[in-house]
Structure 1
C-alpha cells in the first residue's frame, strides 16, 4: 500500500453507517447530534452509494459508546447487522452457493463496506482462519470497537447465510486486552476467546467451506458481483498511488454538486493542474476521459438499483437535463437506461 496515504482517505459506506444510526435511534439517542459532533453532514447520507471518512465513522462509534455508556457497542452493532447494511456486497454474499465462495467474495468485496481493514483467509489443518487486518498506514490498529464490530458482523452474517443460529466458531482472538466482563463475548461467539492476541481472528471448522448455502441464487449472484466490480473500480485499487485515489473520490463526490473541476481534483491530490494532467497522461487518460469513465461506471451501478428512478440517477451523476443523461448512457452501453435496467434486472 502507498504509505503516504493518510487515514483521512479511508472510508465507510453510508449503508454501513446506517447500522449505527439506526441502533442509536432504537436506543433513544439523537443520532443527528452525534453525527454533527463527528463532522458528518446530513447531506452526505443521501447518496445511496456514498461514503464517509473512516476517521469520522470511528469517532462517531466512540461518541456513541460514550453516549450509551456501553463498552460493548461493537459487539452489539455486529449482532444487529443484516445483509442490507453491506449494500451490494451484502447481497452478493447472500446469493453465494457454498461456504468457500462466501469466503472468497468476502475477502474481495469487504472494502466496499469499510476499507480501513481487510480480510485474509488461511487454511490451517482442519480449520479456516479469517484474519481481520488493518489497512491503515504503518498498520496502525483499528481499535477495539472496529475489531469487535467486524468479527461480530461476520459471525452474525455467517449464521444468517447458513441459516444456522447454532453455528459457532472454533475460537476467536482479539488484539485488545481482556475486559473485566467477558460474558457478552461468551453469549455472542459461544466458543473459547483469547485476548492480547497477535491478530484479530475468527476460526471455523474448514468443513463449512464445503457446505451448500440455502439462500444461493446464481442469477442474483452474477448481477451483484457485476455491481460490486463496478463499485471497486470507482474506489480504485489500494495499491494505486494516493493522488489517483484522492482525485477519484473528489470527482465522484462532485457529481451531484456540479461538473467536476480539474483544478479542484488536482488540488485535492496535492498537485498543480499541469502535474495532474501529466500524471493522467502517463496512464493514457485525459481529465475528460477520467471523469467520463467514472461517470459511466457509476451509471451502470445505479441503473441496476431498482430503488433509484432514472431522474434520480441523472441528478446523482451531475446531469442538468434528462436527455443529456439518456444520450450519454446510450453512448456508454449502446442502450437507453430503461433498456439496460430491463435487461439486467434480477
Structure 2
C-alpha cells in the first residue's frame, strides 16, 4: 500500500466547493475536516483515488486538476517547499523534488531527465490507470508548473506537456493553463522545459538557506529510507543478470533471500515495483555503456538484456528521447 499527503485531498474538496459534502468525503478518507492542513499527514493512495472518483460521480471534474494544481503554493509543502524556493534555479528546484518527494508520497517518483531541448520532468506512478489516478497525475503536472511560476522572475511556459492517458472531453483549460501543447495518450507523464527556463535564476535562490534546509530534509529522509539498501541490492542484482535476458522477479527475490511475495510487498510499500527498478537499471546501465566508445551498440543492447538491437533502440528512445547512436554522438560533442 502506498501513501500520499492529505494536503492533496483537502485541496480537491476545497476546489469543488459546496456542491458536494466535502466534510463527509474527508471523513470517509480518514481526514478530520476541522483539523490542521498538515502535509505530513498521509492517507492511502487508493483511499485518495476513491475519494476523487466519488467527486467525479457528482460533478464534472474535467477542469478540476487544473484548478487544484494551480492553487498549490510552495509554502504548503513545508521545508521542501522552502527548499524549492531557495534553489539557485528551476533545475535545482526540480532536482530537489526528485530527491525528497518521498517525504510526502510513497507512490510517485520524480525524475529530471536530459532532453535535446532542455529537460523533461517526469512523473512516475505505478498502478492501474483508474480515474482517480488520472486526475491525480494531471494535478501533479499542473502543480509543478504553478510552483515553477512562483519562484521565477519571468513567465514560465513549458515547451510541451505529456500525459499518459486519453484526453478528457475538453483540454481547453489544460492548454490555457500551460500555454503549450498538451499531448494526451503519450508514453509517460512529464513536462518538457527549455534549457533557458531551467537555468533561469529563482527569485529567492540562496545557497546559505539551501544548505540549512537540505540538512533538515536529509535528516527527515533518513528516517523513512529504511528500504534504500534493498533497492540498491535489487538494482545490483538486476544489473548482474541482464546479459542473460530480462530478469524474473522470483529469481532476484530468491537471490536476496526473500520470497517473491515478501519482495513484492516490500517494494510496493515504498512506491516501487520490480518492473520500475528493472527499467531504471537498464537505462542507467545503457547510458554508462554508451559513454564508453569501446562498446558497440549491439554489445550495449546485449549487456542490457535485449535480444535484438532494434528493441533496445526503441526502449532507449522511450527512456531518453533519442536513439542510442544520437545519445552517444551528443555525449561525444560535450
Instruction: Specify the TM-score bucket, using the shorter chain as the normaliser.
Output: 0.5 to 0.7
Residues 90 and 102 of structure 1: CA distance in aligned 2, closer, same or farther (over 3 Å): same
Residues 238 and 55 of structure 1: CA distance in aligned 2, closer, same or farther (over 3 Å): farther
Residues 30 and 230 of structure 1: CA distance in aligned 2, closer, same or farther (over 3 Å): farther
The counterpart of 1:157, out of the listed 147, 157, 173, is 147
> How far, CA to CA, are the matches of 2:7 and 2:82 in structure 1?
13
The counterpart of 1:94, out of the listed 85, 88, 101, is 85
Give the match's secondary structure for 2:57: helix
Residues 196 and 237 of structure 1: CA distance in aligned 2, closer, same or farther (over 3 Å): farther
CA deviation vs aligned residue, 1:281-303 (integer Å, no higher than 9, x gap): xxxxxxxxxxxxxxxxxxxxxxx
Residues 75 and 114 of structure 1: CA distance in aligned 2, closer, same or farther (over 3 Å): farther
Residues 210 and 20 of structure 1: CA distance in aligned 2, closer, same or farther (over 3 Å): same
> How far, CA to CA, are the matches of 2:143 and 2:226 in structure 1?
24
The counterpart of 2:15, out of the listed 10, 14, 23, is 23
Structure 1: give runs of 5+ residues left out of the alignment.
1-7, 243-269, 272-346
> How far, CA to CA, are the matches of 2:115 and 2:21 in structure 1?
45
Residues 182 and 23 of structure 1: CA distance in aligned 2, closer, same or farther (over 3 Å): closer
> How far, CA to CA, are the matches of 2:141 and 2:37 in structure 1?
28
> How far, CA to CA, are the matches of 1:171 and 1:46 in structure 2?
32
Cα deviation for residue 77 of structure 1 reads 0.8
Once the two structures are superposed, the pairs formed by residues 64-79 of structure 1 within 5 Å of their partners are 64-79=55-70
> 2:117 maps to what in 1?
126
Aligned residues: 231
> 2:197 maps to what in 1?
208
> How far, CA to CA, are the matches of 2:212 and 2:54 in structure 1?
37
> How far, CA to CA, are the matches of 2:227 and 2:115 in structure 1?
27
Cα deviation for residue 21 of structure 1 reads 4.2
> 1:299 maps to what in 2?
none
Residues 219 and 48 of structure 1: CA distance in aligned 2, closer, same or farther (over 3 Å): same
Cα deviation for residue 91 of structure 1 reads 1.3
RMSD value, Cα: 2.8
Residues 175 and 20 of structure 1: CA distance in aligned 2, closer, same or farther (over 3 Å): same
> How far, CA to CA, are the matches of 2:185 and 2:137 in structure 1?
13
Residues 194 and 234 of structure 1: CA distance in aligned 2, closer, same or farther (over 3 Å): same
Cα deviation for residue 101 of structure 1 reads 1.4
Give TM-score, length-normalised by structure 1: 0.59
Cα deviation for residue 46 of structure 1 reads 7.5
